[in-house]
Amino acid sequence: MADSSTLGGPPGLGGPPGFGPGGPPPGMIIGAIPPPPGVVPNFDNPFNPHRQQIISITIGMACTSALFLAMRFWTRAKILKSLGWDDLLLLGSAGTGAFLTATPFLQLKLGLGLHTWDVPLSNFSPKWLLINNISAIVYFFHLAMVKGSIIVLYFRLSPSKGFKKLVYANLALVAISVIFSLLTFLLTCRPIEAQWDVTIKGNCADTTTLFIANGSVQSLTDITLLITPMYIIWKSNMPLRRRIAVNGIFAFGFFIFAVSIARMILGSRIFKSKDPMTEAATFVTWSTIEVHTAIICSAVLGLKAFFKTYWPALLGTDNDSKGFNSTRDKSRDLENGAALSRLKSSDASRSDEVELYHTRIVAKSYA
């Protein structure tokens, strides 16, 4: 176990780290950590080389994800005239995404991207550390809602019992990941306030190990969620061109997986860094990218009807390639039409299969 108060020197009795009883002299500003030898802290007007990058990426990603969300809800509400639980979960993730979009701006005001010794201790702890901890909790729920939205869609991809078992396994894995993340957060330090208040002497577990464990669990749910539908889609009765297109949509999610790995590596460096506020700037940037890319990936799964309505040339038609003119593909279309007719008689307005590929997937190998 590590002493949570080591940042900035040993705590004085009743005062901030590095000072005796009562803290520093009145009016004296102290940095979050001592500066390197020969360096004079700049509390008045320090230069932040990361500020513009964080602002630009945050605004750009937020606008992009908002555009895809608007397209998704327009498709479901206006074109298909049906909203499902997957849409409600995605709407919830929009709320958490908005919070996680706002926090980098507040963190910048508190010194994110500056040298840590140029950041007043009062800004760093408890303010910046507390915001960081709250953001972590919101982040867990954000990813859970995005993944939950995708899982609800998966339940409607195929009537196969085998496939549904895989979907339930994904649901259980996501639930376990959220519980694990929350427990590791709540149990990291005793008392818990020691996580954001360096004046509190507390015992904390190895934060680097816990962070990597959390990141690994999240990455595991990413990869299982991505590969779950690919085999059943590839073995389905859809034409080859359509199977490639649909798998391509799901494969886009591998970018999120790569971003989550990058985020985990960058985040693990912060805890051992001699300049954590500077190190955290890149971490926050990649976290923002992950948050909004996850929303985009989930939203795009329901946009087939949008593009078929407003941009049909992008998707082409079933007769624009040789493979679609074959007898085999025509028989596939007949089978798909029969499946779609059965689907319409039950719950067609709720079907994402209609949006994605006009048909419910029939994968006999999973029956």
Q: Does one domain contain both 80 and 199?
A: yes
Q: In total, how many domains does the chain have?
A: 2
Residue 9 lies in a domain: no
In the prediction, which pLDDT does 227 show? 85
Inside any domain, residue 37: no
Q: 308, 330, 351: which is the final residue of a domain?
A: 308
Domain that holds residue 327: 316-366
Of 287, 308, 329, the one marking the end of a domain is 308
Residues 76 and 213 in one domain: yes
CA–CA separation, 141 vs 145, rounded Å?
A: 6
Of 280, 308, 336, the domain-final residue: 308
Instruction: State whether 217 and 336 are in the same domain.
Output: no
Q: Does one domain contain both 188 and 109? A: yes
Task: Please tell me whether residues 116 and 163 are part of one structural domain.
Answer: yes
Domain assignment present for 87: yes
Q: Are residues 148 and 252 in the same domain?
A: yes
Q: Is the dihedral of CA 184, 189, 193, 198 positive or negative?
A: negative
Residues in the chain: 367
Shared domain for 138 and 89, answered yes or no, is yes
Instruction: State residue 1's pLDDT score.
Output: 39
> Rounded to an integer, what distance in angstroms lies between the CA atom of residue 221 and that of residue 118?
39
In this structure, is residue 35 part of a structural domain? no
What does the pLDDT profile of the chain (367 residues) look like in tens digits?
A: 333 433 433 333 333 455 555 556 666 789 999 999 999 999 999 999 999 999 999 999 999 999 999 999 999 999 999 889 999 999 999 999 999 999 999 999 999 999 999 999 999 999 999 999 999 999 999 999 999 999 998 888 878 888 899 999 999 999 999 999 999 888 899 999 999 999 998 899 998 999 999 999 999 999 998 888 877 777 667 677 766 777 677 677 788 888 999 999 999 999 889 999 999 999 999 999 999 999 998 998 888 889 888 887 665 554 444 443 444 444 444 444 444 454 444 444 444 443 443 334 444 333 3
32-38 — which CB contacts under 8 Å span 24+ positions?
Answer: 32/7, 32/8, 32/111, 32/116, 32/117, 32/119, 32/120, 32/121, 32/123, 32/124, 32/125, 32/277, 33/7, 33/8, 33/116, 33/117, 33/274, 34/8, 34/9, 34/117, 35/115, 35/117, 36/117
The answer to the question of residue 13 being in a domain is no
Let me know whether 301 and 328 are in one domain. Answer: no
SS3 sequence, the chain? CEECCCCCCCECCCCCECCCCCCCCCCCCCECCCCCCCCCCCCCCCCCCCHHHHHHHHHHHHHHHHHHHHHHHHHHHHHCCCCCHHHHHHHHHHHHHHHHHHHHHHHHHHCCCCCHHHCEHHHHHHHHHHHHHHHHHHHHHHHHHHHHHHHHHHHCCCCCHHHHHHHHHHHHHHHHHHHHHHHHHHCCEECHHHHCCCCCCCEECCHHHHHHHHHHHHHHHHHHHHHHHHHHHHCCCCCHHHHHHHHHHHHCHHHHHHHHHHHHHHHHHHCCCCCHHHHHHHHHHHHHHHHHHHHHHHHHCCCHHHHHHHCHHHHCCCCCCHHHHCHHHHHHHHHHHHHHHHHHHHHHHHCHHHHHHCCCCCCHHHC
pLDDT of residue 340: 46
Q: Domain check: are 109 and 254 in the same one?
A: yes
Residue 73 sits in the same domain as residue 184: yes
3 assigned to some structural domain: no
CB-based contacts of 239: which residues, under 8 Å, 6+ apart?
Answer: 318, 323, 324, 329, 332
- The confidence score (pLDDT) of residue 160 equals 82
Same structural domain for residues 122 and 260?
yes
Q: Is residue 327 one of the residues assigned to a domain?
A: yes
Q: What is the CATH number of the domain that holds 294?
A: 1.20.1070
